[in-house]
Chain A
Amino acid sequence: MNTVPVARGDAGTGGTASGNEMVNAVPVARGDGGTGGTASGGRRFQIYIHVPYCYRRCGYCDFNTYVAPASQRNGFADLALRELELVADELDQRGERLGPTASVYFGGGTPSLLPAGDLGRMLRTVGRIFGLAAGAEVTTEANPDTVDAAYLALLADQGFTRISFGMQSAVPDVLRGLDRQHDPERVRQVVAAGRQTGLDGSVDLIYGTPGETLADWETSLRAALDLGVNHVSAYALTLEPHTPMARRIRRGELAPIDEDQQAEKYELADELLGGSGLNWYEISNWARAGHESQHNLGYWTGAQWWGIGPGAHSSIGSERFWNAKAPATWAAKVKSGELPLAGRDQPNAEGLELERVMLALRTVGGVALASLQPQAAQRVDALVADGLVQLADGRLSLTRRGRLLADTVTRHLTFI
């Protein structure tokens, strides 16, 4: 696993197993989403491509990743291209159009396990089918162990603008706890190499691993800042019950996750990153002005996106749908010329409002007070009094304390 956007085929929302209707007809944007919105009146459109392969599975990871032989990995790009064509065919048949693409994001898994040429081919096909907006942000996640200067240069040559390195920690014991192998020095080298090729670099950190002290976390934060990156993502370790690490905690082999300590670590991160000019713009993301990930922001502020690859999720119009999770199932469907969807969901108005508030609240921009339902607006004063939100220019945004209790705030604003 590397960084932010990883599609989760199981999703807890059912997929096919819980009786969600299988989707054959493709839901298409109708431009009536009403959330977010751009200057042109349409909604931002972005593409996510999920590369489901890793060298090894890490004990904490619940993402849709597989340790697969190179031969299988090498076939991935062609299948993804095929899936993009299927999406295009479907849109053609319906006479609908999406695009141009404002951003493309390759996540995983470990996209950097694929040859740089494969990533480039997929990007070119996205451009051919949907068009790439001027100045489009193109990111890939990368494991510091799997890339070198030549690889990064090749990415930059093919139009990539941004790279997000899975640094996780600068403390060897913590990295070992996360089953990560890289040498912290290695991160320094690849970040520097990326910068030389002109890629905007980001690093991902994980805090709250069992055994990690507050001092360990400070070490990691300072190491990340020393790299001189313009963007840091810091995620609290969250374990799904069936991961090996969760099992070890249940067996008493590892200390349980202490959410109070995670809160303390979050505050430390916000303190140190903010103090170095990297300001929070989304709960788990900090950047220098102008270096925010546009793709990431798109998720929270009402963009539409189509996800390619096993288990990838899409959000088009008011439809939410997702691909088959298992690579073999996904591949078989794509090969047979069928969109590899596994499930779909169409939230009602109440669900859409819940989604809008829960997502937008996570960003520094927050939500417009005027956009809230009257009963929700009535609760704002109490939230302000509790120090969870602040009001400015008619917008309501989370305080630092409120960011740590974002779900509580969401419930107050949407459980009418």
Chain B
Amino acid sequence: MPSLDPKLIRNFCIIAHIDHGKSTLADRMLQKTGVVDQRVMRDQYLDRMEIERERGITIKSQAVCLPWTSRGTRYTLNLIDTPGHVDFSYEVSRSLAACEGAVLLVDSAQGIEAQTLANLYLAMENDLDIIPVLNKIDLPAAQPDKYAEELAHLIGGSPDDCLRVSGKTGEGVEALLDAIVGRITPPGGDSSAPARALIFDSVYDTYRGVVTYVRVVDGHLAARQRIAMMSTKASHELLEIGVISPEPVATAGLGVGEVGYLITGVKDVRQSRVGDTVTGQDRPATIPLAGYRDPKPMVFSGLYPMDGSDYPALRDALDKLKLNDAALSYEPETSVALGFGFRCGFLGLLHLEIIRERLEREFGLDIISTAPNVVYTVTMEDGTEHNVTNPSEFPEGKVSAVREPIVRATILTPAEFTGAVMELCQQRRGVMLGMDYLSPDRLEMRYTLPLAEIVFDFFDQLKSKTRGYASLDYDPAGIQEADLVKVDILLQGEPVDAFSAIVHKEKAYSYGVMMVGRLRKLIPRQQFEVPIQAAIGSRVIARENVRALRKDVLAKCYGGDITRKRKLLEKQKEGKKRMKSIGRVEIPQEAFIAALVSEPDPKK
């Protein structure tokens, strides 16, 4: 079966920071290549999910096939859209591995940001051809010359190599399409070898089941053929194969260098994992494509339904989301304070936030999420090891070592904030690895930081200390031993599981003081005094009291109006159903939630 000549194919992605205009540029490319009719053009066509559209970011990558005629020759350009966030860096790496080139898109009013830089380095490591492009040249604040210098400094080459476009007006987009043809290497690969195709995305569709996005590296895949997943050895019949243009169009098959989708009828993205290699069942390849790894949750949080009766609905919703999200993990847990819920694992904070929002928006659930934490490895003196994903499950007894995950963080900041960033990183137990000037007034700083410090409000602090100018990227960098302790919060001597935290010994006191102070403000006065304590084991490190309520009576019922008073009590009676009891202390669920979600103490 004749396939497209690889010489006429260009596979590329766009590396850009959130808001730097990637989706707008992609939309313009769809228009200029005639793939999408002006009439049906929606803004940001490729961002399909509602949340993506609202937040202006891309969560799941997609691929679209663009026909483009350059100097009389018709080419097929495959745009592989990459996720734009650090949480999804593995997915980014797989998307990059599916390309020969990358468009490095930078806002000409803002310059390059840390995530973009990290992805640029990743692209350079993958030997991709880089086309630097400055976007938003129509903006009055644009400084294309300045940032062209910066990009030339980063990539090598001359500032003149930098293209200038406006995704908004379409200016320069045709030149960019020509440059993609001219500057990006066509795909290589052996068309006669056994088939190998890289899965760079896998999406669950209610009607079609799992849609798998692939880039064929060697050989050929054809409709109705039996295929095998090299990591799981699972085999499926290829029900449909095709390209996205930008709606799916079935084809007879895909050959070397081509990008498209597969449908096998499987219902769970875990059966078709990003990074895995697809091969033919009859003539399988022996060596899978490099770089596959299992998605590993880095951040954990308890998700609880606000209304306890929604627990089954939450379970169903997580089951559904899991079909489309190989990185999401969860298992049931129970909290004294919050009832029945799930301990969920996420790739990072954004991933957590997105799942939360999808649960609320797509499934209509009201969700409480506990403060995010990382996974700790606790080694006991008797040599046993525990993986702790929920602080309240920190083992009792003699602990010999606690290990926590660390990350390599890259922070880009204007030079004037260097001191502030160093101070923040030091407070957060960071170890500096080095720093470099990107340009006379911009700095790249590299640190090793405990992931736990990053999930606790690091990004917000970084933004506020640098007036929003600094950007952050990080990558897992293993684990380290640290002096970590579990701090419990007790009400009238009873521990409240949802508030337990694992913190560095030096910060245990300030955490304890902050938490008991916060609870003292939130817990309503009871008819008796309620002591609130923070403790490490049996040692109390902070204490506050909620004074006993002295007066809870109406002076009078205003002459005949007993109805008002009764209705008030009836309302309280209704509200009592949402009260949680810790020992004899009754606490409105709202107070628990407020204590869990309040902003961390700004003094920190």
Interface membership of A231, Cβ < 8 A? no
A405 interface neighbour in B549, B559, B561, B568, Cβ under 8 Å: B549
List the one stretch of B229-237, B283-291, B550-558 in contact with chain A: B550-558
Contact A11-B555, Cβ < 8 Å, known A386-B527, A410-B569, A415-B576 = no
Q: How far is the CA of A63 from the CA of B560 in the complex (A)?
A: 12
User: Does A235 count as interface, using CB distance less than 8 angstroms?
Assistant: yes
- Beyond A8-B558, A351-B570, whether A313 also contacts B563 by CB under 8 A is yes
Q: Does B603 contact A (CB under 8 A)?
A: no
Asked if residues B569 and A358 are in contact (CB atoms below 8 Å), the reply is yes
* B528-574 at interface with A (beta carbon < 8 Å): 528, 547, 549-570, 572-573
A-contacting residues, B438-485, CB 8 Å:
none
- Is A354 a contact partner of B570 (Cβ separation < 8 A)? yes
Residue of A nearest to B566 (CB): A355
User: Are A263 and B550 neighbours in the complex by a CB distance under 8 Å?
Assistant: yes
Interface string of A312-335 (1 = CB under 8 A from B): 111100001010000000000000
Q: Which residues in A have their C-beta under 8 angstroms from that of B562?
A: 299, 313, 315, 320, 355, 358-359
Question: Which of A266, A312, A347, A411 touches B560 (beta carbons < 8 Å)?
Answer: A312
Which residues in window 288-343 of A have CB below 8 A to B? 299, 305, 307, 312-315, 320, 322
Given A307-B560, A359-B562, do A414 and B555 touch, yes or no (CB 8 Å)?
no
Min distance, Cβ B18 to any Cβ of chain A, angstroms: 41
A138: interface (CB < 8 Å): no
B556–A405 contact, CB under 8 A? no
Nearest Cβ on chain B to A298's Cβ, whole angstroms: 10
Chain B residues with CB below 8 A from A386, complex form = 527-528
| B 259-270 binary contact with A (CB < 8 Å = 1; else 0) | 000000000000
Which of B550, B559, B564, B572 contacts A13, CB < 8 Å? Answer: B564
Judge whether A6 and B559 touch: CB under 8 Å: yes
Within 8 A of B (CB), among A1-24: 4-8, 11-13
Nearest CB on A from B416, distance (A)? 39
Other-chain contact of A4, B547, B559, B566 (Cβ < 8 Å): B559
Inter-subunit contact A313/B561 (CB<8 Å): yes
Q: Find out whether the CB atom of A7 lies under 8 angstroms from the CB atom of B563.
A: no
Q: Which chain B residues border A27 with CB–CB below 8 Å?
A: none
B558 contacts A5, C-beta separation under 8 Å = yes
Task: Write the nearest CB–CB distance from B404 to chain A, whole angstroms.
Answer: 45
Residues B556 and A235 in contact, CB atoms below 8 Å apart: yes
B557 touches A405 (CB 8 A): no
CA distance A242 to B559 in the complex (A): 20
Chain A residues near B558 (CB-CB < 8 A): 5-8, 63
Q: Which of B547, B560, B576 has the most CB of A within 10 A?
A: B560
Whether the Cβ atoms of A322 and B556 lie closer than 8 Å is no
User: B560–A299 contact, CB under 8 A?
Assistant: yes
Q: Are B563 and A13 in contact (CB under 8 A)?
A: yes
| Residue pair A404, B551 in contact (C-beta under 8 Å) | yes
Check B553 against A8 for contact (C-beta < 8 Å): no
**Closest CB in chain A relative to B599 CB, distance in Å:** 24
Q: Is there contact, CB below 8 Å, between B564 and A12?
A: yes
Residue of B549, B559, B568, B569 ringed by the most chain A CB atoms within 10 A: B559
Cβ contact within 8 Å between A351 and B552? no
Q: Given known contacts A12-B568, A13-B564, A415-B576, is B559 in contact with A5 (CB within 8 Å)?
A: yes
Taking a contact as CB atoms under 8 Å apart, the answer to whether B554 and A7 are in contact is no
Q: Which residues of B contact A63 (CB under 8 A)?
A: 558
Across the interface, which residues of B come within 8 angstroms of A305, CB to CB?
Answer: 560
Within 8 A of B (CB), among A49-65: 50, 63
Q: Pick the contact of B563 from A266, A345, A408 — CB < 8 Å?
A: A345
**Which A residues lie within 8 Å of B550 (CB)?**
259-260, 263-264, 404-405
Q: Check B557 against A408 for contact (C-beta < 8 Å).
A: no
CB-CB contacts below 8 Å: B186-218 with A: none
Task: Indicate if A166 sits at the interface (CB-CB under 8 A).
Answer: no
**CA distance in complex: A315, B563 (Å):** 9
CB distance B560 to A415 under 8 Å?
no
* Residue numbers in B under 8 Å from A123 (CB-CB): none
Residue contact A12 to B560, C-beta cutoff 8 Å: no
Contact B527 A388 (CB under 8 A): yes
Beta-carbon nearest neighbor of B557 in chain A: A299
Q: In the assembly, what is the distance between CA of A358 and CA of B560, in Å?
A: 14
C-alpha gap A403/B527 in the complex (Å): 12
Shortest Cβ distance from residue A195 to the other chain B in the assembled complex, whole angstroms? 25
Q: Name the B residues within 8 Å of A320 (CB-CB).
A: 562-563
Indicate if the CB atoms of A347 and B566 lie closer than 8 Å. Answer: yes
Q: Which residue of chain A has the shortest Cβ distance to B565 in the bound complex?
A: A358
Q: Which residues of A contact B576 (CB under 8 A)?
A: 411, 415
Task: Please tell me if A48 contacts chain B, counting CB pairs below 8 Å.
Answer: yes
The residues of A that contact B555 with a CB separation of less than 8 Å are: 235-238, 283-284
Q: Quick check: A408 and B560 within 8 Å, CB to CB?
A: no
Inter-chain CA distance A13–B568, complex, in Å, is 9
In contact, B566 and A263 (Cβ under 8 angstroms): no
A357 to chain B, nearest CB (A): 10
A354, B566: Cβ atoms closer than 8 Å: yes
* Residue A107, interface by CB 8 Å: yes
CB–CB A50/B563 < 8 A = no
Nearest-Cβ distance from residue B575 to partner chain A, whole angstroms: 10
B553 touches A283 (CB 8 A): yes
Tell me the chain B residues, 277-295 only, with Cβ under 8 Å from chain A.
none
- Chain B residue numbers with a CB within 8 Å of A388 are 527
List residues of chain B with CB within 8 A of the CB of A259: 550-551
A108: nearest chain-B partner, CB-CB: B559
A11–B563 CB distance below 8 A: yes
Which residues 232-273 in A have Cβ within 8 Å of B in the complex?
A: 235-238, 259-260, 262-264, 266
Say yes or no: is A406 at the interface (Cβ < 8 Å to chain B): yes
Cβ–Cβ < 8 Å partners of A322 in chain B: 560-561, 563
Q: Within the complex, which residue of B528, B552, B563 is in contact with A406, where a contact is CB–CB below 8 Å?
A: B552
- Please indicate the chain B residues that have their CB under 8 angstroms from the CB of A11 in the complex: 561, 563-564
Interchain CB contact under 8 A, A263 and B551: yes
How far apart sit A284 and B554, CA to CA, in the bound complex (Å)?
A: 9
Closest CB in chain A relative to B566 CB, distance in Å:
5
* Contact between chains at A262 and B551 (CB < 8 Å): yes
Q: If the complex has contacts A12-B567, A358-B569, A415-B573, are A313 and B559 also in contact, measured as CB distance less than 8 A?
A: yes
Give complex CA distance A266, B552 in Å.
12
- Chain A residues with Cβ below 8 Å from B557 are 299, 359
Q: What is the chain B residue whose CB lies nearest that of A412?
A: B527
Residues of B within 8 A of A415 (CB): 572-573, 576
Q: Is the CB of B553 within 8 A of A414?
A: no
Please measure, in the bound complex, the distance between the C-alpha atom of A356 and the C-alpha atom of B140, giving whole angstroms: 73
Q: What are 15 sample pairs from A and B whose C-beta atoms fall under 8 A apart? A: A7-B559, A11-B564, A13-B564, A235-B556, A266-B551, A307-B560, A313-B559, A347-B566, A354-B570, A359-B557, A404-B552, A404-B553, A405-B549, A407-B553, A407-B569
Q: A13-B567, A305-B560, A313-B560 are in contact. List 9 more A-B contacts (CB 8 A).
A: A299-B559, A313-B563, A320-B563, A345-B563, A358-B562, A404-B552, A405-B527, A407-B553, A411-B569
Shortest beta-carbon contacts, A-B, top 9? A5-B559, A313-B560, A263-B550, A406-B553, A235-B555, A263-B551, A236-B555, A259-B551, A8-B561
